[in-house]
C-alpha cells in the first residue's frame, strides 16, 4: 500500500473512531493487512489502539500486528494486556518477537508469563532472552529445520511434513550430525530431485557459512548482504545449531543502522524522535547543542582577544560568517564520506593515512579555489581602501586554512574513532563542527592581525 493510501486509511479510521462507527471499523480492520494497521496504530491513543485490537477476529492477525508494533514503542498498549491474553497471542508469534515483548514487560508480569508458558516454549524464550539484543543470538529465530545427515531424502520429506508443520517457508534445510553439530545444508529442490533413498550426507552442501551467537548484528547483516543468502545459521561454541537469522530481519537491521547513523551525525539521538513528544525530543537534542554552545563561547573569547584589531578594522567581522561557513561545510562533507564509508565497508579504518591524505588534498584544492574567489570579492569591495590587498590576502588565506583544517579534522576524527572501535557517527557532529569553528576563527584573526600589522 502506498504512503498516500495509508494516509487515507488512517484518516478514515480516525473519523470512524470519532463517530463510534463500530460496524464499519470492524469491517475495515479485518480486511487490512496487519503491517498497514501497525502504521495507523502508531498515531493512535492507547484507548483507540486497544479498541481496534479487540475488533480483530483472527488470532494470527493480532500476532502479526503485535510483532510489527514491537519494533516501536508500544509499551502502553501492552500494559493493558492480562497475562492470559498475552499467552494466547504469543502462540501465534515467532519466539524472537515473544522474547522482545517479554523483555519490555515489567519484571513481575514477565515472570508470570514465563511461568504459565509450557516448558518447551518458555525455555526457548528464556534462551533468547539470555543473548544480547544486538547480537546474532538476540535476533535469531529458533524455527529452523534440522535433519539428520544419515536419513534418506524420502524420510527427510516425510519428516518435514510431520515434525515441522510450523516452519512455513523453510529457507534452507540444515543437516546436523549425532551431536546436533551443523555439518551441511540441502534445498527442498534437491530433496525432490535426487533418488528418494539417497542419504542427505551424500548430496548436501558442506561449504556452509555460519555465525556465532555473540556476533554483532551489523556484522551478521553485512555477511547476509555480501553473500546474497536468505538466512544464516547461528551456532554456539560447539558448532551446535541454535537458530537462524533471516533476510527480512537483515533488512530491518540495515534500515535501523542507516537511520541511527544519520540521526547520530546530526546529534538527535540514535532512535527516531519524531514519534516522541516535544519535551522528550528537546531533551535528546540539548546535550549535543551544548558542545556547539561551548565552542561558540570559546570563539567569542578568541575574537574578544582581538578586540583592538577589530576596533581598527571593523570590517574584519564581516568575513567571519563566510570563513566559518566554508570550513563547516567542508568538514561535514569529509566526515560524512568517512562515516558512511566505514559503515558500508567501502573504507577501512586501517587505511587512515590514505583516506585522510586524500581528504586533505581535496580540502586544499577547494580552499585554494574558494580562498581565491572570496579574497577577490574582498579586494573588489575594498579596492580603493588602504591596505586592501593585505585584507584580501588575509581573508583568502583564512578560507584556505579553514577549509583544509576542516577536511583534515572531518576525516581524521571519525577514522581514529573507527580504529579504536568507538562509533564514528557519534564523533562527527560535536567534535568536528565545534573544533573547526574555533580553529577557523583563531587562524583568521591571527593571519589578519599579522598581515595588516594590527
Gap between the Cα atoms of 404 and 423, Å rounded:
24
Q: Which of 242, 245, 201, 193 is nearest to 219 (CA)?
A: 245
Gap between the Cα atoms of 223 and 209, Å rounded:
9
C-alpha grid cell for residue 50?
Answer: 486497544
Binding to its own copies in span 414-433, by CB under 8 A: 429, 433
Q: Does 141 help bind its own copies (rule: CB under 8 A)?
A: no
Compute φ and ψ for 109, nearest 5 degrees: -65, -40
Q: Which of 25, 176, 186, 366 binds its own copies (CB under 8 A)?
A: 366
Q: Whole-number minimum distance, CB 137 to its own copies, in Å?
A: 18
Q: Which of 21, 55, 297, 385 binds its own copies (CB under 8 A)?
A: 297
Q: Which of 28, 140, 324, 408 binds its own copies (CB under 8 A)?
A: 324
> Which of the stretches 51-59, 103-111, 371-379, 385-393 binds its own copies when contact is defined by CB under 8 A?
371-379
Binding to its own copies in span 225-264, by CB under 8 A: 225-228, 230, 247-248, 250-252, 254-255, 258-259, 261-263
Size of the site for its own copies (CB under 8 A): 112
Q: Does 274 help bind its own copies (rule: CB under 8 A)?
A: yes
Q: Which of 183, 162, 186 is nearest to 238 (CA)?
A: 183
Q: Whole-number minimum distance, CB 3 to its own copies, in Å?
A: 6
Rounded to 5°, angle at Cα 419 from 413 and 425? 50
Q: Which of 150, 240, 145, 241 is nearest to 201 (CA)?
A: 150
Q: Which of 23, 161, 238, 421 binds its own copies (CB under 8 A)?
A: 161
Q: Does 388 help bind its own copies (rule: CB under 8 A)?
A: no
C-beta of 81 vs 431, nearer to its own copies: 431
Q: CA of 294: how far to CAs of 102, 402, 409, 433, 447, in Å?
A: 42, 19, 18, 12, 24
Show the binding pattern over residues 68-87: x = contacts its own copies (CB under 8 A), - = does not.
--------------------
C-alpha grid cell for residue 114?
Answer: 514465563
> Which of the stretches 111-119, 132-140, 173-181, 265-273 binds its own copies when contact is defined by CB under 8 A?
265-273
Q: Whole-number minimum distance, CB 330 to its own copies, in Å?
A: 7
Q: Cell 582581538 appears where?
A: 306
Gap between the Cα atoms of 185 and 177, Å rounded:
12
Q: Residue 195: which region, alpha, beta or left (left: phi > 0; alpha: psi -120 to 50)?
A: beta
Q: Whole-number minimum distance, CB 46 to its own copies, in Å?
A: 19
Binding to its own copies in span 32-51, by CB under 8 A: 33, 35-36, 39
Binding to its own copies in span 171-230, by CB under 8 A: 187-189, 192-193, 219, 224-228, 230
C-beta of 320 vs 451, nearer to its own copies: 320
Gap between the Cα atoms of 377 and 260, Å rounded:
41
Q: Does 159 help bind its own copies (rule: CB under 8 A)?
A: no
Q: Does 21 help bind its own copies (rule: CB under 8 A)?
A: no
Q: Whole-number minimum distance, CB 65 to its own copies, in Å?
A: 13
Q: Which of 146, 160, 451, 452 binds its own copies (CB under 8 A)?
A: 160
Gap between the Cα atoms of 137 and 145, Å rounded:
17
Gap between the Cα atoms of 69 and 63, Å rounded:
10
Amino acid at each position: 500500500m502506498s504512503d498516500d493510501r495509508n494516509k487515507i486509511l488512517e484518516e478514515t479510521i480516525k473519523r470512524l473512531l470519532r463517530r463510534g462507527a463500530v460496524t464499519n471499523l470492524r469491517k475495515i480492520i479485518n480486511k487490512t493487512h496487519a503491517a498497514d494497521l501497525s502504521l495507523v496504530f502508531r498515531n493512535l491513543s492507547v484507548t483507540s489502539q486497544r479498541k481496534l485490537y479487540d475488533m480483530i477476529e483472527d488470532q494470527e492477525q493480532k500476532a502479526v500486528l503485535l510483532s510489527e508494533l514491537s519494533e516501536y514503542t508500544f509499551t502502553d498498549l501492552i500494559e493493558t494486556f492480562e497475562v492470559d491474553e498475552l499467552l494466547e497471542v504469543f502462540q501465534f508469534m515467532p519466539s524472537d518477537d515473544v522474547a522482545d515483548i517479554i523483555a519490555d514487560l515489567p519484571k513481575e508480569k514477565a515472570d508470570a508469563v514465563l511461568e504459565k508458558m509450557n516448558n518447551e516454549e518458555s525455555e526457548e524464550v528464556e534462551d533468547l532472552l539470555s543473548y544480547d539484543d544486538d547480537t546474532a543470538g538476540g535476533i535469531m529465530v529458533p524455527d529452523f529445520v534440522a535433519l539428520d545427515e544419515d536419513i534418506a531424502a524420502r524420510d527427510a520429506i516425510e519428516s518435514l511434513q510431520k515434525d515441522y508443520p510450523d516452519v512455513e517457508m523453510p529457507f534452507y534445510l540444515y543437516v546436523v550430525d549425532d551431536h546436533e553439530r551443523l555439518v551441511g545444508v540441502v534445498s527442498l529442490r534437491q530433496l525432490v530431485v535426487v533418488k528418494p533413498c539417497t542419504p542427505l550426507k551424500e548430496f548436501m552442501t558442506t561449504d556452509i557459512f555460519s555465525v556465532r551467537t555473540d556476533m554483532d548484528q551489523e556484522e551478521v547483516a553485512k555477511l547476509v548482504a555480501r553473500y546474497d543468502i536468505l538466512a544464516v545459521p547461528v551456532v554456539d561454541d560447539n558448532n551446535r545449531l541454535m537458530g537462524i537469522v533471516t533476510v527480512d530481519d537483515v533488512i530491518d537491521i540495515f534500515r535501523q543502522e542507516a537511520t541511527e547513523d544519520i540521526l547520530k551525525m546530526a546529534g538527535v539521538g540514535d532512535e527516531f524522535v519524531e514519534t516522541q513528544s516535544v519535551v522528550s525530543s528537546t531533551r535528546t537534542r540539548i546535550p549535543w547543542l551544548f558542545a556547539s554552545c561551548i565552542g561558540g563561547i570559546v570563539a567569542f573569547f578568541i575574537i574578544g582577544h582581538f578586540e583592538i584589531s577589530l576596533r581598527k578594522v571593523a570590517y574584519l567581522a564581516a568575513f567571519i560568517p563566510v570563513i566559518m561557513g566554508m570550513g563547516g561545510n567542508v568538514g561535514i562533507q569529509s566526515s560524512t564520506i568517512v562515516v558512511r564509508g566505514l559503515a558500508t565497508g567501502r573504507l577501512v579504518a586501517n587505511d587512515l593515512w590514505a583516506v585522510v591524505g586524500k581528504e586533505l588534498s581535496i580540502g586544499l584544492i577547494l580552499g585554494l579555489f574558494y580562498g581565491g574567489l572570496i579574497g577577490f570579492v574582498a579586494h573588489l569591495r575594498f579596492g580603493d581602501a588602504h591596505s586592501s590587498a593585505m585584507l584580501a590576502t588575509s581573508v583568502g588565506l583564512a578560507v584556505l586554512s579553514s577549509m583544509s583544517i576542516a577536511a583534515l579534522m572531518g576525516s581524521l576524527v571519525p577514522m581514529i574513532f573507527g580504529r579504536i572501535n568507538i562509533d564514528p557517527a557519534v564523533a562527527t557532529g560535536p567534535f568536528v563542527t565545534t573544533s573547526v569553528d574555533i580553529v577557523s576563527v583563531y587562524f583568521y584573526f591571527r593571519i589578519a592581525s599579522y598581515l595588516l600589522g594590527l
